[in-house]
Structure 1
């Protein structure tokens, strides 16, 4: 039997809130294109499937009232713009950017990510989010988010429109025949003419069919409505579990829902977040972790936890009391449930819960040597708890370099990670087929 292979992404986020303070960290990474280029090329050298950029359309917590001036990385480039630039300095690695469906328009997003897919020769991915941070609403003329379920309802319509727009032109539509003067075949061009609850879009999209048919769709929702949305639309699911049983339960649930939508479960990759704190030895890795914890101010970590508190201001409470019951969240419902379950299981105080969240925003953290981390990753893969991992870094660029130089070779030695790319597109790397154009499929069905 062929050994199942891990799928790996490098997740670029704000990292650990104190990580930028370490001597080996580059705090200028937030806006330095040479640093982003170095990290993208490092990840590609390690044969990772993709690099994956988060995004929030606002400064969390603001810069005046309730601000946390010691918090790292409150500014960064718009990530779809960034991955377009990185396409020119990489060859094989997938390029995934976040964009919200709550405060965007389908035509704009379809054109943006379709363009990156063309520019990169088939390496673009769109991480679909419905916006978590309430402040984002205030940057788009609203006082608060629309209700959680309504945001996902809007997102489904949004993504359906994008799928339709990416099918505007069938393969071979653009003849560009100099002799006849015929540029395109009108029989292979299609208007969408969508009219729905949230959007009205005529089409067609002013792009040809992209190298991947459409960009790879990533999604990170783990609430009930988020899982349904991901099972229906996503190719890659970024999630957060901390134990193999949790991962197995989520994996089984999602794959069953994928199948219920008539999709092949093998074509949807489930990739939990993992923060490896690597060292040459366990002791060296633990020393790095302890430094990170000791340098994190309570103010910063508790404000980070506040993002999942359902509006309860935890900074006003004694940090050494147990984490109290939290009001229901209208933002990251599944992440709030995970954090509360962790706090209850381990009887954590507010301070301890905040320290846990600060490390990796509720994602699993493992401290040790490359062999220790590889043991954990192999155990999850073989237990059917994941298809791979989104690898997070507490700061940049050294942890990613350690992943590529030490962890990847260990995974390759075990035969659970590639030594060369399987093809040239992100779909090739993930083992996900190019979707057939809907109009082409309809014509075939009609003819048969």
Structure 2
């Protein structure tokens, strides 16, 4: 084996309660009765930590987005849940999704700062603007804001939140018992953020957390999402079906980040991969087929409408999907709705029937599904990692908890043999796992006019 390269693969476990396949809860390998139990998620996190994964990740949204008639719908609130997971683990990163549309900066800053303290520096915030129209009604609003407005607010939200986290300089806490001095208030600053959508005075009511501030993660790949990610994201979760599309996205984001004066190496790009794994390729494909046969077409059509705004319910399940029905999806560089573009690409390349398309999307909602042996899964990961398509992956097991265990037991050892994945943690924080610097407070050295009063 050649000497270990400097660049190392990053792996997160993307936790979707029963598994990422939409019919996972019906399969005997899963445990849907446990999806509201803390120890279930602690077990999954411990599996990921034992394999030296960078982190675990929870998606979330402030509405019941799935059709509960046909799936194990509903979610525990991820920041509170990850506080429980933090108590049961030592090193694994803890990434929660929270919406800039339906939170306010001060309360969200407190939640993530607290998680970072409780976990001793393992928190990450997956920044979303929320795509669910149903969310607005849960917050007494007449309508869900348009994407451009949501991203305007999101930029202000992140700016305000980071200013709050930065408002205490690193050495603001003095702890001088003899002098009776707890903190140097000249080093505690008001945020004084005033924007079009948000105003936050500050200062924050806690010192800087162990990482300076939690890792900023983003998951949108639309044009608005790419611009936002290039400006703010330290890790990007994305969905791609083909190597060339992933390479184009990877190059685009790094170019945008560099143009904004950022170090592109400090933006980690992590596509999703949902692996069905067996000793033989045939066995893996049979396992995938087992799950597909448990799908309910009505649920698949509901999900398809949710991610593409395209309704195929009037078309026979065994008829071909009309290609022109996705005609406004755009291409890899001109996409208004990134997931719709992924689905349009599947239809253009594979010419599926409606049923076949529903099965293609059942595995991971547009993320790449791979069925094969551990060697084949490792080959795919290595190819994308070494050919300018990814810095790592969000591993999306089709079923939990066993799907992650199979991956860590069979694929991870192969990645280590190839010298591209760690054998031990070399740091203690999520930033250290990802090779990201600890940010300095933007107020450091500022002593005029902005300190707390």
CA offsets 1:356-393 (integer angstroms, 9 cap, x no match): 11111100011011111000100111111110000001
Helix, strand or coil at the partner of 1:171: coil
Helix, strand or coil at the partner of 2:443: helix
Deviation at 1:341, TM superposition (A): 1.8
Relative distance call for 1:442 and 1:228 in structure 2 (3 A) is: farther
CA contact (8 A) 1:302 1:351 kept: no
User: Which moves more between the two structures, 344-353 or 5-14?
Assistant: 344-353
Deviation at 1:23, TM superposition (A): 1.4
Helix, strand or coil at the partner of 1:438: coil
- In structure 2, what is the equivalent of residue 47 of structure 1? 52
C-alpha separation in 1, matches of 2:171 and 2:326: 55
Pick one of 4, 8, 11 that aligns with 1:5: 8
1:69 and 2:69 are equivalent in the alignment: yes
CA contact (8 A) 2:25 2:71 kept: no
Deviation at 1:68, TM superposition (A): 5.2
C-alpha separation in 2, matches of 1:351 and 1:309: 16
CA offsets 1:395-415 (integer angstroms, 9 cap, x no match): 210001111111111111111
- In structure 1, what is the equivalent of residue 98 of structure 2? 99
C-alpha separation in 2, matches of 1:137 and 1:260: 35
Deviation at 1:70, TM superposition (A): 1.9
Deviation at 1:318, TM superposition (A): 2.9
In structure 2, the gaps of 5 or more residues are: 330-334, 448-453
- In structure 2, what is the equivalent of residue 231 of structure 1? 230
- In structure 2, what is the equivalent of residue 80 of structure 1? 79
Pick one of 311, 314, 320 that aligns with 1:313: 311
Helix, strand or coil at the partner of 2:207: coil
Q: Which aligned runs of 4 or more in structure 1 are off by greater than 6 angstroms?
A: none
C-alpha separation in 1, matches of 2:31 and 2:190: 48
- In structure 1, what is the equivalent of residue 146 of structure 2? 147
Deviation at 1:47, TM superposition (A): 0.2
C-alpha separation in 1, matches of 2:148 and 2:337: 11
- In structure 2, what is the equivalent of residue 64 of structure 1? none
What is the RMSD computed on CA atoms of the aligned residues?
A: 1.7
C-alpha separation in 1, matches of 2:336 and 2:40: 30
CA contact (8 A) 1:191 1:203 kept: yes
- In structure 1, what is the equivalent of residue 410 of structure 2? 406
- In structure 2, what is the equivalent of residue 17 of structure 1? 22
User: Which moves more between the two structures, 257-266 or 340-349?
Assistant: 340-349
- In structure 2, what is the equivalent of residue 389 of structure 1? 393
- In structure 2, what is the equivalent of residue 38 of structure 1? 43
C-alpha separation in 1, matches of 2:94 and 2:426: 16
User: Which moves more between the two structures, 105-114 or 20-29?
Assistant: 20-29
Relative distance call for 1:387 and 1:327 in structure 2 (3 A) is: same
1:250 and 2:249 are equivalent in the alignment: yes
CA offsets 1:49-72 (integer angstroms, 9 cap, x no match): 0000000111125xxxxx551212
Q: How does 1:259-408 map to 2 (within 5 A)?
A: 259-310=258-309, 312-319=310-317, 320-323=319-322, 325-326=325-326, 333-408=337-412
In structure 1, the gaps of 5 or more residues are: 62-66, 444-448
Deviation at 1:325, TM superposition (A): 1.6
- In structure 2, what is the equivalent of residue 221 of structure 1? 220
Deviation at 1:327, TM superposition (A): 8.2
CA contact (8 A) 1:169 1:188 kept: yes
Deviation at 1:351, TM superposition (A): 2.4
C-alpha separation in 2, matches of 1:248 and 1:40: 30
CA contact (8 A) 2:211 2:429 kept: yes
CA contact (8 A) 1:10 1:48 kept: yes
- Number of equivalences: 435
- In structure 2, what is the equivalent of residue 435 of structure 1? 439
CA contact (8 A) 2:320 2:351 kept: no
CA contact (8 A) 1:305 1:358 kept: no
